[in-house]
Structure 1
Amino acid sequence: MSALTRLTRTETKLFFREPAGVFFAIVFPPLLLIILGSIPAMREPDKGLGGLRVIDLYAPIIVAMAIATFSLSGLPQQFATYREKGVLRRMRTTPVKPSVMLGAQLLMCTVMSVLVMVVVLAIGRVAFDVSLPSQLPAYLVSYVLCALAMLSIGLLVASLAPSGKGAGAIGTVLFFPVLFFGGLWAPRETMNNVLRTISDFTPLGAGVQSLQDSAAGHWPQLLHVAVMLGWTIVAGGLAARFFRWE
């Protein structure tokens, strides 16, 4: 078994030992979909939304929210804590490089968020008749681009935060505005032109719109693809530049 595989398994076990983290990252997104879908008005077609139901819009939003939760809550706080406690420094004396720990964290976050995506789509389809993505390859591309952008931001937070608590605080400050422009409180379709334009240039806003376009059978718009790639390159580059192992 490779070092990456073993570390990923270990990190996953450690993740499941934190009940609060497990609840908000894995349990809460599907639960939120169930709560929203249980409201009759959410299941009624809306002419203002082109005949769509509000619950149809929220499935991609909740999928993106799960990505944001792992990227801004779990990843930066864990890595900053490892640096603060000297775990990364001590790993330099072993055959396992600290970069393998980074890969394990990214792999664990990706696998867990994909699991949440599958559960959300399954609940939406079975319980509330939400259509599955009509353009599956486009949906997967949109998902990967959104995940890359958000994880890059999470790594940037981890690289700049002075401690685990600091990383948690920074992640929380970023989390709610990112979710707002992703449409959690008000779907993008209900935003005014100014808010929707701002949302277009945020990683989660671009990601949500790309997921919604893919679910409707279209490929993501070039603007949103460029925005997600831009956030990935800029945030990822800055994270690599400022990241400290000790």
Structure 2
Amino acid sequence: MSALARLTVAETKLFFREPMLVFFVLAFPPLLLVVLGAFPALREPSADLGGARAITLYLPIIVTMGLALFALNSVTQLLATYREKGVLRRMRTTPVEPHVLLGAQLLMSTIMSVATMLVLLAIGRVLYDVGLPRQLPAYLIAYLLTALAMFAIGLLVASVAPTGKSAGAIGTLLFFPILFFAGLWVPRAEMNDVLRKISDFTPLGAGVQSLQDAAAGHWPQPLQVAVLLGWTIVAGGLAARYFRWE
């Protein structure tokens, strides 16, 4: 096995040794979808949503929430903790460069988040008759762009946070407003013009709209792609500039 593969396996084992982290990033999104689906009003067509069902709109929101949990909680805390404890510094004295550990962490998080997405799509289809994405390639591209943007933000948080606890605190502070503009509390279709315009330029706002468009059979709009790439480039560039190995 390559160093990246071995480290990915090791990081996965370490990840599953943190039960609270495992619960919130893997189990909480499916559980939230099941809870929301238990409300009959969310399973019925709504005139306020143009005849759409709220549970159909919430599915991509919860999919992106799973990404946000990985990016702003798991990745940020683990990498900041590794730097705080000197793990990254010690790795620089071995044949395995620290950036391989960084790649393993991102690879593990991506695999886990994709698995969560598949579980959510299955729950939506089996329990609530939510159709699978009509434009699957577009859905996967939208998911990838959203993942890139969120992981870039997570790496930026890990770059500037001095400790694992502070990284978790910063990630939590970012998590709630980002989820608000994704439509978790107020669906984008019910937002006023000002909030919807702000949402259009947030990573999860653009990501949710892209996933919803793909689920309906359309490709992401140029604005959404530009917003997601913009967050990836800016946050990723700042993360590369300020990331410290020790």
Amino acid aligned to 1:84: E
Amino acid aligned to 1:202: T
Amino acid aligned to 1:31: L
TM-score (norm 1): 0.99
Tell me the distance in 1 between the aligned counterparts of 2:106 and 2:237: 16
TM superposition outliers: structure 1 runs of 4+ over 3 Å: none
RMSD in angstroms over aligned alpha carbons?
A: 0.5
Q: 1:211 aligns to what?
A: 211
Q: 1:121 aligns to what?
A: 121
Tell me how far 1:186 sits from its aligned partner: 1.1
Question: Percent identical across equivalent pairs?
Answer: 73
Tell me the distance in 2 between the aligned counterparts of 1:234 and 1:53: 35
Tell me the distance in 2 between the aligned counterparts of 1:97 and 1:112: 23
Tell me the distance in 1 between the aligned counterparts of 2:170 and 2:50: 38
Any stretches of 5+ residues in structure 2 without a counterpart?
Answer: none
Q: 1:71 aligns to what?
A: 71
Q: 1:25 aligns to what?
A: 25
Of residues 99-108 and 41-50 in structure 1, the stretch that sits farther from structure 2 once superposed is 41-50
Amino acid aligned to 1:25: V
* Residue-by-residue CA offset, 1:50-105 (whole Å, 9 max, x unaligned): 22100000110000000000000010110010000000000011110000000001
Q: 1:170 aligns to what?
A: 170
1:210 alignment partner, SS class: helix
Any stretches of 5+ residues in structure 1 without a counterpart?
Answer: none
Q: 1:43 aligns to what?
A: 43
Q: 1:193 aligns to what?
A: 193
Q: 1:238 aligns to what?
A: 238
Amino acid aligned to 1:231: W
Q: 1:134 aligns to what?
A: 134
Pairing 1:53–2:53 present: yes
Amino acid aligned to 1:63: V
Tell me the distance in 1 between the aligned counterparts of 2:4 and 2:229: 26
Tell me how far 1:46 sits from its aligned partner: 1.0
2:65 alignment partner, SS class: helix
Amino acid aligned to 2:241: R
TM-score (norm 2): 0.99
Tell me the distance in 2 between the aligned counterparts of 1:24 and 1:192: 30
Q: 1:223 aligns to what?
A: 223
